[in-house]
Structure 1
C-alpha cells in the first residue's frame, strides 16, 4: 500500500484534516508540539501518515527533529506516492515558510505535492477570498481551499487528492525560471498578495489577550481556571459516579440472585463487583478531566497559559513549554513525558521529564476520590457550585505541582547538562481563539474512558482474582485466617508507622503495578470481610472500619508523590536512555512519599 504524507505547521488544522480523511479520531490540540508521534490511517487505497507539526526543516526540538528525519526518509522511499502540505489560510506567511521548503525538497526527489489551504472558513468570516488558481501558479503546485472543521471544499479536496495520488508524476512541482530567492522573502510576498492582513486577524484576538494576558489579571484568571478544572472533576462527575455506583450495585444483586450460595457466588460478589466494580465508579472523573482539558486545548487558551507560566517556571529551572507536558501529565504521564520532546533545552527537557510523575495522573483519581469520600465531609459552598471535597481535590493536585517545582529547583542546581550554553529565547506562536470542534472532543472523552478501562480493568481483574483466592482460602471467607492475612501480617510492620493495617499494605504493594489497582484490591478485601454490606459501597465500608484521619491524609500524600507505574518508569528510561535515572526516580519518590505519609500520620 502506497503512502500519502501529511505535513504542516502546528495549529494549522492538520490533525483534524487527518481525522476527516481517515475517519480516525486522533487527538487535536491547539498547541505546538502536542502530536509527537507519526499517526497513520487508511484513505481510499492509500495509507495516510500524519507527521508532527513543524515550523521549518531546521529543527529546534526533538519533536521537529523526528518529523524532519522521517520526512527525508519518506522522500527517499518508493512507497511514498504523494506529499500533502497543509497551510493555515489565516496565517499564510508562516505556513508557507515550511510549505515552500517541503515543495523544494519534493522537487529535489521528484515527488508530487499538493497544498491543502485549510481554515478557509475563518478567512471567509473576515470577508476575504483567496485566489487559489493564481496562488497555485506562483507555487507551481495544486492548491485546494477547504475547511476540515466546516467541511467546506473537503469533497473537492478528496477528489483531487485521489487523482494526485494515482498520477503523482503530474503533480511534481514546476520549477521556477526566476533566480532563486530566500524562502522567507517569497512567503512574505505571497502572503501579502493573497493572504489576510495581519491586523485583521489579530484585532479580535488582541482584545481577548488584553484581558487574559493582563499583567494584573492574567495570573489570577489562570489560577481560577485551574481551580475550576480540578473542582469540576469532583462536582461535575458526581451525578455520573452515583449512577454508575447504582448500576454496579443493582447489576451485582441481579446477577448473584441466579447463583447458588457458596464460593462461586462469593467470587462474583467480592472479586468481580467488589474489585472491578469499585474501580468503574470513578471512570466518569476521567471523562470530565479529558473534556475540560480538551476545551482548553481546542480553544487556544493553553498556549496563553504556557506564556503566563513561562516566567514563574523559569525560576524553577523550567520553561513555559514545560506547562503543556505538566498539564498533560494530569491525564497520563506517558504521553506527557513524550510531549517534553518539544522543549529545546536538553537540561529543561530532562528536568521536566523527571518531574512529570509528580503530576496527579488519572490513575490517581480513583484513589483520591475514594479517600476523600471517606475522610472529607460533603460541605457545599456558593449554592453547590463548590464543595469541600472538590477543594480537597484541588489541594492534592496543588501539592503535586508544588512538589514537582521544588524537585525541579533541586535538579536544576544539580544538573550541569547544557547549563553553560546560551539558552534559546522562549518563542511561542499564539493560535487564534476558536470554538472547539465538538464531535472529535466528545469522541476523545469517550475514547479516554475506553482506553482507561481497557488498560486498567484487566490488571485489576487479575489482581482481584489473586487477592480473592488468597483471602478466601483456606477457611472459605475467613479473611483473618486466610493466606493473604499471613502475607499481610508479615509486611504489616512496614506500614504500621503510617497508621495502616495489613489490608492497606497489601493494596499499596499491588498498586505498584498500576495505582488504580489500589481501589480494586481494597474492594475485594472489604468485599470478603463485609459480604453483607452494600456491594459497591467501598467508601461506606472503609468509613465504618474507622480509617484514622491522619493515616488517611498520609495515604493520600503517599499517592501524590510515589511513582507507582511500571509503564512510566519504562517510558522515562526510553526517553532519557538511562536505567539509573528511571529507577532512581522510582526509589527516590517512593522514599519521599513514605516520609510524608509518616509525618502526616504522626502529626494529625
Structure 2
C-alpha cells in the first residue's frame, strides 16, 4: 500500500485535518509537543501518515529530531507517493519556512507535493482573501484553501490529493530555493503578498493576552481556572454519578430478585455489581476532567499557562514546558511522561518525568470520590456553585502538585553537578485563541470514558472475581472465616498503624495493578459482608463500618503519593532507560505515602 505523508508546523490544524481525512479521532491540542509519535489512517486506497509537527528541518528538540529523521526516511522510500504539507493561513510566513524546506526536499527526491492552506475560515473572518492560484504559481506546487474545522473546501481537497497520489509525477515541484537564506526571504515575501498582516491577527490576541498574561491578574486568573477545573470534576459529575449509581442499584435489585438464592445470585450481586459496579459509578468524573482539559487545550490557553508557570517552575528546577505534562498527568501519567520528551533540557526532562506520578491521575478519582463521600459532608456554598466535597478534591490535587514541586527541589539539589552547561532559552509559540471544535472534543470525552472502562474494566473484573472466590469460600459467604480473611489477617499488622483493617490492606495491595481496583476490591469485600444490604451503596457501607476521619484522610494521602500503577512504572523504565529509577521511585513514593498516612492516622 502506498503512503501519503502529512507534515506541517505545530498549531497549524494538521491533526484535525488528519482526523477529517481518515475518520480517526486523534488528539487535537493547541500547544506544541502534543504529537510525539507517527500516526496513520486509511485514506481511500492509501495510508495517510501524520508526522509530528516541526518548525524547521533543523531540529531544536528530540521530537523535531525524530520527525525530521522519519521524514528523510519517507522521502527515500518508494512507498511514499505524495507529500501533503499543511500551512496555517493565519500565520503564513512561519508555515512557509518549513513548507519551502519540505518542497525543496521533495524536489530533491522527486516526490509530488500538495499544500493545504488550512484555517481559511479564520482568514475570511478578517475579511481577507488569499489568491491560491497565484500562490500555487509562486510556490511551484498546487495549493488548496480549506478549513478542517468548518469543512470549507475539504471535499475538493480530498478529490485533489486522491488524484495527486495516483499521478504524483504531475505534482512534482517546479521551483527550488537556492539556500536557507533564500527560503527565509521567499517565505517573508510571499507572506507580505498573500497573507494577513500580523497586526490584524495579533490585535485581538494581544488584547486578551494583556489580561491573561498580566503579572498579577494573569496569575490570579490562572489559579481561579485551575481551582474551577478541579472543583468541576466533583460538582459537575455528581448528578451523572448519582444517576449511574441509581441505575446500577435498580439493576442489581432486579437481577437479585429474579434469581434464586445461591452461589450465582451471590456472585452477580457481590462480585459484579458490588465490585465492577462500584467502579463504573466514577466514570463520569473521568469524562468531565477530559472535557475541561480539552477546552483549555483547544482554546489556546494551555500555552499561556505554560508561559505563566515558567518563572515559578524554574525555581524548582523545572521548565515552563513541564506544566503541559503535569496537567496531562491529571488525566493519565503514561502519555504525560511521554509528553515530557518536548523538554529540551535532559535534566529538567528527567525531573519532570520522575515527578509526574505525583499528579493525581484519573485512576485516583474513584478512590478520592469514594473516601470524600464517606468522610466529607456535602455542604454547599454560593448557591451550590461550590461545595465542601469539591474543595476537598482541589486540596488533594494541590497536595500532589506541592509534593511534586518539593521532590523536584530535592532532585534538583541531588543533580546539581549534572546541570546543563547551556540550557536552551524557553521559547513557546502562543497560538491564536480559537473556539474549540465541539465534535472532536465530545468524541474525545466519550472516548476517554470508553478507554478508561476498557483499560481498567477487565482488571477490575478479574480482581473482583478473584477476591470474591477467596472471600466466599470455604464457608459460602462467611467472610471472617474465608481464605481471603486468612491472607488479610496475615498482612494486617502492616496496615494496623494506619488505622486500617485487613480488608483495606487487601484492597491496597491488589490496587498496584491499577489504583481504581481499590474501589472494586472494597466493593466486593463489603458486598460479601453486606449480604444483599445496600447493594450499590459502597460509601454508605463504609460509613456504617466506622472508618475514622484520621484513617480516611491518611488513606487519601497514601493514594496522593504512592506509585500504585504497574503501567506507569513500566513507562518510566522505558522513557528513562533505567529500571533502578522506576523501581526506586516506586519504593520511595511508597514509603513517603506510608509515613504521611501514619501521621494523619496518629494525629487527626
Query: Shorter-chain TM-score: which interval?
Result: over 0.9
Q: How does 1:506-585 map to 2 (within 5 A)?
A: 506-585=506-585
Structure 2 Cα separation of the partners of residues 56 and 179 of structure 1: 14
Structure 2 Cα separation of the partners of residues 10 and 230 of structure 1: 28
Secondary structure, counterpart of 2:258 in structure 1: coil
Structure 2 Cα separation of the partners of residues 250 and 349 of structure 1: 49
Structure 2 Cα separation of the partners of residues 324 and 181 of structure 1: 34
Q: Report the Cα offset of residue 256 of structure 1.
A: 2.1
Secondary structure, counterpart of 1:90 in structure 2: coil
Secondary structure, counterpart of 1:544 in structure 2: helix
Secondary structure, counterpart of 1:493 in structure 2: helix
Structure 1 Cα separation of the partners of residues 338 and 513 of structure 2: 21
The 8 Å contact of residues 19 and 26 in structure 1, kept in 2 or not, is answered as yes
Structure 2 Cα separation of the partners of residues 479 and 393 of structure 1: 33
Structure 2 gaps of 5+ residues are none
Structure 1 Cα separation of the partners of residues 179 and 587 of structure 2: 62
Structure 1 Cα separation of the partners of residues 474 and 411 of structure 2: 50
Q: How does 1:327-338 map to 2 (within 5 A)?
A: 327-338=327-338
Q: Does 1:293 align with 2:293?
A: yes
Secondary structure, counterpart of 1:11 in structure 2: coil
| 1:235 matched residue in structure 2 | 235
Secondary structure, counterpart of 1:30 in structure 2: coil
Structure 1 Cα separation of the partners of residues 70 and 90 of structure 2: 27
CA 1:294–1:420 in 2, change beyond 3 Å: closer, same or farther?
A: closer
Task: Name the TM-score, length of structure 1 as normaliser.
Answer: 0.99
CA deviation profile, 1:165-212 (whole Å, cap 9, x unmatched): 001111111134878843222211111111100000000001111111
The 8 Å contact of residues 103 and 176 in structure 2, kept in 1 or not, is answered as no
CA deviation profile, 1:365-406 (whole Å, cap 9, x unmatched): 000000000000000000000000000000000000000000
Secondary structure, counterpart of 1:430 in structure 2: coil
CA 1:57–1:177 in 2, change beyond 3 Å: closer, same or farther?
A: closer
Q: Report the Cα offset of residue 66 of structure 1.
A: 1.5
CA deviation profile, 1:280-336 (whole Å, cap 9, x unmatched): 000000000000000000000000000000000000000000000000000000000
Q: How does 1:76-475 map to 2 (within 5 A)?
A: 76-176=76-176, 181-416=181-416, 419-475=419-475
Structure 2 Cα separation of the partners of residues 417 and 156 of structure 1: 58
Q: Report the Cα offset of residue 267 of structure 1.
A: 0.4
The count of aligned residue pairs is 604
Secondary structure, counterpart of 1:211 in structure 2: helix
Q: Report the Cα offset of residue 70 of structure 1.
A: 1.1
RMSD (Å) for aligned C-alpha atoms? 1.1
The 8 Å contact of residues 104 and 177 in structure 2, kept in 1 or not, is answered as no
Q: How does 1:1-40 map to 2 (within 5 A)?
A: 1-40=1-40
Structure 2 Cα separation of the partners of residues 425 and 312 of structure 1: 15
Structure 1 gaps of 5+ residues are none
Q: Does 1:56 align with 2:59?
A: no
Secondary structure, counterpart of 2:308 in structure 1: helix
Task: Name the TM-score, length of structure 2 as normaliser.
Answer: 0.99
Secondary structure, counterpart of 1:147 in structure 2: coil
The 8 Å contact of residues 345 and 418 in structure 1, kept in 2 or not, is answered as no
Q: Report the Cα offset of residue 420 of structure 1.
A: 4.2
Q: Does 1:487 align with 2:487?
A: yes
Structure 1 window deviating more from structure 2 (175-184 vs 545-554): it is: 175-184
The 8 Å contact of residues 347 and 417 in structure 1, kept in 2 or not, is answered as no
Q: Report the Cα offset of residue 555 of structure 1.
A: 0.3
Structure 1 Cα separation of the partners of residues 492 and 72 of structure 2: 58
Secondary structure, counterpart of 2:513 in structure 1: coil
The 8 Å contact of residues 346 and 418 in structure 1, kept in 2 or not, is answered as no
